[in-house]
Chain A
Amino acid sequence: DIQLTQSPSFLSASVGDRVTITCRASQGISSYLAWYQQKPGKAPKLLIYAASTLQSGVPSRFSGSGSGTEFTLTISSLQPEDFATYYCQQLNSYPITFGQGTRLEIK
């Protein structure tokens, strides 16, 4: 199985900050990586697919980059609604796996 390790696991930031979350894969996954946002009691929401493609309707302050084994999700200017938990996911091979999550909280 491909392991995904996110860092940090917890992040405290302020509105307007630029934040970056990293996802490292245990082996190369090309660009078969997605990012999700999940708020309490809600289903995950797809933000980025194919490592860097913004899902329709997602604000442009979200961006993704990387390929192979190292990927990043960047939020250019945090908004109040962005405080949530973020997960990366690899779709390169079965079993599909998720990172452990990064909880983003208000400082």
Chain B
Amino acid sequence: QLQLQESGPGLVKPSETLSLTCTVSGGSISSSSYYWGWIRQPPGKGLEWIGSIYYSGSTYYNPSLKSRVTISVDTSKNQFSLKLSSVTAADTAVYYCARTVTYAGGMDVWGQGTTVTVSS
């Protein structure tokens, strides 16, 4: 059974770069049937899509974050990663990684989420 697990620091200082990794287990990240993404949820608020990546490395980012976001994939480690630069308190959120089925399949597998707090 496919599982996703986020990892990374839970506390990041303002103006620094938030870095998270999502490890995929129980299946391969190298499949044309899926793409892989990051979603976040500020405390008490709704869901915001950050961006997605195909195993080939093609990326799509939310324009609202595009200037600060980089998503990359490491197929040898079955992982994909998120970097968000110049963070502020507004970036404090639970960050989820998720698998999306291509052609309108939805995000069918999610990580448990990791809380990232931006504070000095």
Name the prevailing secondary structure of the B interface residues: strand
Q: How far is the CA of A55 from the CA of B106 in the complex (A)?
A: 9
Contact B110 A89 (CB under 8 A): no
Whose C-beta in chain A lies nearest to the C-beta of B111?
Answer: A43
Contact B104 A49 (CB under 8 A): yes
Q: How far is the CA of A89 from the CA of B39 in the complex (A)?
A: 12
How big is the B interface, by class? Answer: 20 to 34
Whose C-beta in chain A lies nearest to the C-beta of B52?
Answer: A96
Given A45-B110, A46-B106, A96-B52, 13 more pairs with CB closer than 8 A:
A33-B104, A36-B47, A38-B47, A42-B112, A43-B110, A44-B110, A49-B104, A50-B104, A50-B106, A91-B100, A91-B106, A94-B60, A96-B37
Residues of A within 8 A of B (CB): 1, 30-34, 36, 38, 42-46, 48-50, 55, 87, 89, 91-92, 94-101
